[in-house]
Amino acid sequence: MSVAAVCVSTAAALWASTTTVTQGAIVAGPLPAAPSNLVPTVAFCSATRTYYTLSFTWKAPNPTTSVRGYAIYSSTASGGPYSTLVGTVSGAGTLAYTTTTQYTDWNTTHYYVVRATSGGSWVSAWSAQVSFRVRTTNCP
């Protein structure tokens, strides 16, 4: 019987090993690297400035061979926890996401991160955190 070596990072709560045991067989695969250059922008503001939506872009990790998608998370506290899932996209080449949520929390700073996913529970580390505060003056 083979046993996989695993290491759990308490800061990012992710698996650091690239090997796991599946029904007695060892399955190896690289974890995706973290995406970079996350940029939030206001996508839409209502005419009465009562709500807004956001768009996000980021740069893919290199290589992208194990990337199957991305997940964007937010927190109202710098450094997390990033417990609010903003949205997900499929495909290594999909590097943008626009929310459908109508946010109403003007003048609140949110902190965003993105991580690459490779299917199942395999995920990259968090990207660098970016902060964004929406004011009515941010509206296009």
The string of pLDDT tens digits covering residues 11-42 is 333 333 333 333 433 444 678 889 999 999 99
Residue with tokens 């973290």: 34
For the chain, the domains span: 31-138
Closest C-alpha to 8, from 121, 139, 118 = 121
Please give the radius of gyration of the chain, using alpha carbons only, rounded to the nearest integer. 17
Rounded-to-5 percentages of helix, strand, coil across the chain = 0, 45, 55
Predicted TM-score of the model (pTM): 0.75
Mean pLDDT of 36-51: 92
Q: Top-level CATH class of 31-138?
A: mainly beta
Output DSSP code: residue 22.
Answer: E
Q: In b/e form, how buried is each residue of 16-39, taking b as 16+ CB within 10 angstroms?
A: eeeebeeeeeeeeeebbbbbeebe
Q: In the predicted model, what is the mean pLDDT of the chain?
A: 80
d(CA 74, CA 86): 7
pLDDT at 29: 60
pLDDT band at 80 (very low <50, low <70, confident <90, very high): very high
